[in-house]
Amino acid sequence: MSRPPKEDETQKEQTLILISSLLAWDKTPRNLEEIKSPKQMEEDARLAAEAEARANAEAEKAEGGEDQEEGDNKAVEEPAAVSESKSAADKSEGEGASDAEKDENAEGAAPKEEAPKEEVVEAVPVEKPKRKVFLHHPFSESDYTKRKASKEYERIKDVEDRVLNFKREGVKTFVISAGCLYGNEEAIFNSHFEKAWKQRPEKLPVIGEGQNFVPTIHVKDLARMVKKISDSPPENQQYIFGIDNTKKPTQMKLIQAISDGIGTGLVESIDIPIEYAPVHPK
C-alpha cells in the first residue's frame, strides 16, 4: 500500500515532457519565398500596369455603349408612307437589274473570278516560361501549429496535440520534436556503418542527389535536453526542436562523413529502389 503524498509534494509543480519525432511534420508545405531579379520585378510591374489600363479602357467603353444605346432609342422614326415608297422603289430597281442580267447572260457568260490566294502565316516561336527560383526558409519552433502529418504518422501528431492541449493546475507540458537518434546502440545508421566497414560496396549509396536535410541528435544530448527542461521549464515555449547544431545536415554530408571515417571515402548516387529491406523499424 502506497503512502499518502506529503503536503509539500501535492503542491509541487509537475512537468510532463513528451519525446516525439519530426515525422509529425512530413506533409507540411515548405516555407518558400520566390526570388525575383530587379528586371523581373520591373516586368511584373509593367504587366500589372498594362492589365489595369486595359480594364479601365473596357469599363469606359462599356459606359459609352450604354450612352449610345440611349441615343438610338430617342431617334425619330421615318413615317410609314416614306418607308413603304422606299421599299417599292428598291423592288422595281431589283426587277430591272434582273432583266439586264438576263440579257447579259444571253450574249455570253461573264468571266469567272479567280479564287483568292491563301496567305501563309509564319509560326511565331513560343517563349518557354522561365523557371522560378525560391529561397527555402527553415521552420522555427513557433511554427508548430502549421505542421501536417501524412496518414502514416498522424498518430504522432495526435499524441503531440493531446500533450500540448493538456490543462491542469500545477502541471506543465512540453513536446520535444527529436531528429534521427544516433549513438548508444541506436540502429538508424547501422546499415551505412556496416557497408563502410566491410567496404561492400566500396561506394556508399546516396539516394538521389542527397541534398535533402536529415536532422539528427545524439541520445545523450537528448537526455541532457530533457533534464534541462525539467530543472528550468521555459515560460513561453511548449514545443521544442531536439536536433544537433549541424549546419545543413544533408544526407550527402552524413553519408560522406561515414565513408570518410571508416570506409573508402567514396559515395555514389543511386535511384530509389522499387523494393528494399527496411533497416530500421518505423
What does the angle CA 97 – CA 100 – CA 101 come to, to the nearest 5 degrees? 85
Contact 216, 180 (CB under 8 A): yes
Q: List the single range of 161-170, 187-196, 216-225 with lowest mean pLDDT.
A: 187-196
* pLDDT value at residue 166: 94
**102 domain residue, yes or no:** no
Band of pLDDT at residue 271, cut at 50, 70 and 90: confident
Residues 101-145 pLDDT 10s: 555 555 555 555 666 666 666 666 666 667 777 787 888 999 999
Assess if residue 226 is contained within a domain: no
Looking at the 3D structure of the chain, how many domains does it have?
A: 1
Mean pLDDT across the stretch 60-69?
72
Distance CA(89)–CA(60), nearest Å, equals 42
Instruction: Look at residue 55 and tell me if it is in a domain.
Output: no
- The mean per-residue pLDDT over the stretch 51-75 comes to 74
Mean pLDDT of the chain: 80
Q: What was the pLDDT predicted at 278?
A: 60
Say if 270 falls within a structural domain: yes
Please give the average per-residue pLDDT across 225-232, as a whole number.
Answer: 94
Q: Which residue has the cell 509539500?
A: 8
Cell numbers for 117, please give them. 490566294
Q: Note whether residue 261 is domain-resident.
A: yes
Inside any domain, residue 38: no
Q: What was the pLDDT predicted at 11?
A: 66
pLDDT at 227 over 90: yes
**For 81-93, what is the mean pLDDT?**
53
**How far apart, in whole angstroms, are the C-alpha atoms of residue 2 and residue 16?**
22
Instruction: Assign 223 a pLDDT band (cuts: 50, 70, 90).
Output: very high
278 found inside a domain:
yes
Q: Is residue 53's pLDDT more than 90?
A: no
Domain enclosing residue 278, as ranges: 182-214+249-282
pLDDT in tens, 133-162: 778 788 899 999 999 999 999 999 999 999
Q: How confident is the model at residue 1 (pLDDT cuts 50, 70, 90)?
A: very low
Distance CA 177, CA 185 (A): 20
Which has more confidence, 161 or 35?
Answer: 161
Q: Considering the entire predicted model, what is its pTM?
A: 0.61
Judge whether 21 lies within some domain: no
* Among 18-22, 112-116, 267-271, the range of highest mean pLDDT: 18-22
**Mean pLDDT of the region 8-16:** 75
